Amino acid sequence: METAMPELSRDPLQFPETIVSDRSMAENLTGNWRSLRPVIDAARCTGCLICWKFCPEACVKLTDKVPLIDLAYCKGCGICVRECPPKAMSQQGEAGL
């Protein structure tokens, strides 16, 4: 039996006692959950930061200019689009991009 399962023949005292989290979930890219992509119309953006403030993914980055949406994480919830005061944002289907 043990030859069929080599891991079991290891000294079990080499296995960890506990498993703690010391790495970041930022390693987990969630951009592929997205079906709708938020797009900012720079001409209409007033830099009000509402999109940054209301992002549940914390993936809108502050810049001196138009905010940057980190598409590696954006799940496409659309809150930023819905809340944008000057209506400078829209959603585009990922399939068409």
Q: Which residues bind other proteins (CB under 8 A)?
A: 8, 11-13, 15-30, 33, 38-43, 45-49, 52-54, 56-59, 61-73, 75-79, 81-83, 89
Closest approach, Cβ 16 to other proteins, in A, equals 7
Nearer to other proteins, 3 or 14 (CB): 14
Closest approach, Cβ 57 to other proteins, in A, equals 5
Nearer to other proteins, 3 or 16 (CB): 16
Amino acid code (one letter) for 74:
C
DSSP 62: P
Category of 47 on φ-ψ map: left (φ > 0), alpha (ψ -120 to 50) or beta? left
Alpha carbons within 13 angstroms on the beta-carbon side of residue 60 total: 24
Nearer to other proteins, 3 or 28 (CB): 28
d(Cα 64, Cα 66) in Å, to the nearest integer? 7
